[in-house]
Structure 1
Amino acid sequence: MLLDEEFPRVLVVSHTPFSRVSGTAMTLSNLFSGWPKDRLGQVHTGNITPSTEVCEKYFKFPPRDHYLPIQYYSMRMLGWNGHTPLQQSRPIAAVHAAAETRPTMAKIYAQLRATADLSPIRVPPALIAWMRDFRPDVVYSMLGSVRLTRITALAARACGVPVVPHFTDDWPATLWANGELFGRADRAVQESIAKLIRLAPLGMVISQPMAEEYARRYQIPFSPFVNCVDETFFAAPRGKANQQGMTELVYVGALHLNRWESLRDIGAALDGVAEAGLPVRLTIHAPEKDLAQYGKHFAHLQRVRLGPSLASDEVPAALRAASVLVHIESFDPEIRRYTRYSVSTKIPQYLASGRPILGYGPAEVASMNHIREADAGVIVGTNDSATLVRDLTDLCRDAALRERLARNGIDFARQEHARENVAARFAATLRAAARAGSATPEAARKQPA
């Protein structure tokens, strides 16, 4: 093992391959940007075309290969095409749509998903051979499910190397926490993570509060890594935000996890801002499927515009066109528990864009704390319409406040999120994990499945 190398050989295990199609894939690509391509390999389960921007060595491990034949063909008979995620099959999607408004259907949908997540995994010999031929120094994964956790642990045991898990939200505490499969699903989550942690000398998370909680929970050290921003993003011309006339609020991101409800609150609050004599508008840029599913909830709001979905290279210009950038989280008790330690992929980009931020969501969640720590925005941490109207009015009225918050955001982003600094720390952490695990490769191989 070449432990003295600056970049260890890393086998990445994930659902989504390196690409720019989602926040998780984007964060993954940014963290590994600049890594020598011959020292990166990836096993991915998703039906997405990988990008060669960061990595060139891939093994696609589709559902046809990792479900047992009886499972695979049973799900095909239920209308699944065998390529897209199971929840996108027509029958399951119908249950999902009904689950949006009917609690009984929501429970049925959760049971179906838990059954698929816990079902046995079939591992083809070709995958084992490919991973061993790659000769990784360490396995890295953002996990996210029982199934992917088990595949990641299997990869580490097969190669006799340590694992570095990277948790970007608190899914271990929330994934199957409502008694799915009579409690067996939650037990499977805890058992699969416990087995994985035994292969991990250290871990990664997405915020400092999460690092502290996970170190206590799993008894290994954790380091926080959020999405990072390229230097060219800072160098892009920003110009002056519109200080006169219309105040342009812009939101870029997904609408799931009930985020659409918080955006709807803001849209309704804009009427109160306008009554104070301040022209204002909110533009929402979300994925096409989210706009199709949730767009109807904004139809009655006159000061809300549904903008086009954006490719990753279109995001910087959209952010710089704003007077104020909007970040939201749901106040739903179950969802706020899931997102309490998370920091959105977009926040580093928001900070680096030179625009102030309006944060609307539970005051205690890590994303709001991150904006607060940067002193780069106004946080409305309670689900109270009067407070939202008041604080939003003050932000729209005070150009000097917006300018100060914007400058603070740029300074904080350069210090905490510049890719060069984050990438160096990221590589050093993976190097330390490879070095820590190299003394006991046989122990990793002998871990029980």
Structure 2
Amino acid sequence: MKKHQPGREDALPEGDQATTDSKEFPRVLIVGQSFNGHSGGGITLTNHFRGWPSDRVAVATTAADFPDFMTCSHYYHLGSSELKWVWPLSLFSSCRDQSGRVAAAEPRIESSSAQKAFARESGGLRKVVGGIFRTLVAFLGLGEFLVVARPSVALLDWIAEFCPDVIYTQLASVGMIRLVHGIVERTELPLVVHIMDDWPSVLNADGVLGPLLNRRSHSEFRGLLRRTSRLVAISGRMAEVYSSRYGREVGYSHNPIDIDVWTQHAKSSWAVGVPFRFVYAGRVGRANARSLADVAAVIADLRSEGADVVLEVYTQDAGTPLADALSKMGVLVKSALPHGRVPELLGAADAVVLPLDFDDAGFAFSSLSMPTKTAEYMASGAPMLVYAPRGGALAEYARSAGECALLVDTAHDGRLADAVLAFVNDENLRASLGRHAKIQAIKEHDAVRVRENFRSILASAARDGLAESTSLRVRS
């Protein structure tokens, strides 16, 4: 495939003044994360690109469905032509995901009937041997390094047809690092990398070969950074750390919120209902399952003493072992609501809970993260309990933002129980926290301002073209 050539001179913005002309919106190829309303990365992506001309956005993703053709009209499914196990593990894959462009009428790409039949008929020994291989791979920690990730001819042709000006990605795996690196090398397009969590610090942390593979994955990530025009963090704290760690300028852009949407349902009275409802809406898993259990244990103790208080968890992880464990503690675990209904849910809560785990593994992953729901919780006006370790980005944000949340940044010392009781008993506290949180949300997370800043980052990367590798000086 030929190296990318700019498709049209008018594809890039001219000058620094914003206009309503489509030239202000470069043609963006998004690789990896897709638009959705249930994951942090998907919600953040959707909110950043809302208002972007749909014909100037294309998404290449491993996602199994493509729900949002209003935001984006060009989709490509990344399948076994781009991401596959090395031989002989490839022999034991039960199915092979199809790759290719996706039309609006196709809700998902399924494996072919022939492939499914092969998977059914080739059970027995093939399944047993495959299980042994997968167990060995997990034991050694080799999973990420046994995936071949490279752009296929079909993908490169689709990219050339769309003719993007810039690539945007959230990465988050070695396989995606390799695939994006391959696309950049073949197209010579400028690249913008947006980091949601500090996953580079925990890549390949498990397994016998974890330390060795960690060094290799870090090397591959740094290699991609040398080809990156703009590096964007999810929080100010992450931007500071990454600037020091990688020796380059790092911006940041957190999940924006449409103030008008949230104010329709925002809380304006802080009298409580019966029972008192603490609400959490989001995933249950890595970096928050233990802290959620801590909150559940405190509320269970209060209930045993006669307090009429409940914790409700709305999550797409309902039915998983971690969610079931919460249910056994008396938590009301319910399926996640469509994102459009979340403002009403949070506005009706007596209080909202934002927890992150305190253990070393959880802190390593989330210490620089700003959860997507942070701005949404504040905009709802529901008083917010932040239960997160001291020194992490979330705890420091809650501390620096003043009276927009009640912060508990230590674990197992009685402060969490005291905070929960304070929420239940003190209406003045709830009202003060809710009012200040709404003000902070408007000040820091208004979508109009955040989207314009984000647009300018992509536009400037598109103007500059491919970054000069010698100018990045990534530290070893």
TM-score (norm. length: structure 1)? 0.85
The residue type paired with residue 186 of structure 1 is N
- Residues 234-260 of structure 1: CA distance to partner in whole angstroms, max 9, x if unpaired? 331334243365321101111101523
More helix by share: 1
| C-alpha deviation, 1:407, in angstroms | 0.9
Q: 2:58 aligns with which of 32, 37, 41?
A: 41
Alignment map for 1:31-430 (pairs within 5 Å): 31-67=48-84, 70=87, 73-76=90-93, 79=94, 82=97, 109=138, 111=140, 114-178=142-206, 181=209, 183-238=211-266, 239-243=268-272, 245-257=274-286, 259-273=288-302, 278-287=307-316, 289-302=317-330, 304-374=331-401, 375-430=403-458
Whole-angstrom distance in 2 between the partners of 1:437 and 1:409? 40
Q: Give the aligned length.
A: 424
- Describe the SS at the equivalent of 1:262: helix
Partners of 1:352 and 1:413 within 8 A in 2? yes
User: CA contact under 8 A between 1:207 and 1:342: conserved in structure 2?
Assistant: yes
In the aligned structure 2, how far is the partner of 1:182 from the partner of 1:439? 31
Contact 2:144–2:173 (CA under 8 A) maintained in structure 1 = no
- Equivalents in 2 of 1:186, 1:366: separation in Å? 24
Q: Which runs of 5+ in 2 are unaligned?
A: 1-8, 15-22, 99-108, 111-118, 128-133, 472-476
Q: Which secondary structure does the structure 2 equivalent of 1:355 belong to? A: coil
With over 3 angstroms needed to count, the CA separation of the structure-2 counterparts of 1:75 and 1:284, relative to structure 1, is: same
3-state SS of 1:344 partner: coil
Amino acid at match of 2:425: R
State the superposition RMSD in angstroms: 3.1
Counterparts of 2:232 and 2:208, CA distance in 1: 28
Cα deviation digits, residues 10-43 of structure 1 (max 9, x gap):
11111x4222242211111111111112221121
Out of 36, 43, 46, the residue aligned to residue 26 of structure 1 is 43
Kept in 1: contact 2:228–2:467 (CA 8 A): no
- Cα distance change of structure 1 residues 160 and 33 upon mapping to structure 2, 3 Å threshold: same
- The whole-number CA distance in structure 2 between the counterparts of 1:107 and 1:390 is 47
What 5-or-longer segments of structure 1 have no aligned partner? 95-104, 445-449
Cα 1:132–1:61 shift into 2, 3 Å:
same
Query: Which deviates more from structure 2 when the two are superposed, residues 325-334 or residues 231-240?
Result: 231-240
* 2:30 match: 12
Distance change >3 Å, CA 46–CA 301, structure 1 → 2: closer
Once residues 277 and 167 of structure 1 are traced to their aligned partners in structure 2, the CA distance between those partners, rounded to angstroms, is: 45
Q: Residues 286 and 309 of structure 1 are in contact (CA less than 8 Å); yes or no, is this contact kept in structure 2?
A: yes
Structure 2 equivalent of residue 99 of structure 1:
none
SS at match of 2:335: coil
Whole-angstrom CA distance in 1 between matches of 2:420 and 2:54: 46
CA distance in 2, matches of 1:298, 1:182: 31
| Identity across the alignment (%) | 27
Give how far 1:204 is off. Answer: 0.4
Residues 61-117 of structure 1 deviation map (CA, whole Å, 9 limit, x = unaligned) = 2135432684674232xx4564799xxx999xx9xxxxxxxxxx99963646x3344
Cα–Cα, structure 1 residues 301 and 172, in superposed 2: closer, same or farther, change >3 Å?
Answer: closer
Report if the CA contact (8 A) 1:19-1:51 is conserved. yes
When residues 177 and 72 of structure 1 are mapped into structure 2, their CA distance, relative to the original with a 3 A threshold, is closer
SS in 2 for 1:255: coil
Q: Distance in 1 between matches of 2:328 and 2:194?
A: 41
Structure 2 length as normaliser, TM-score? 0.81
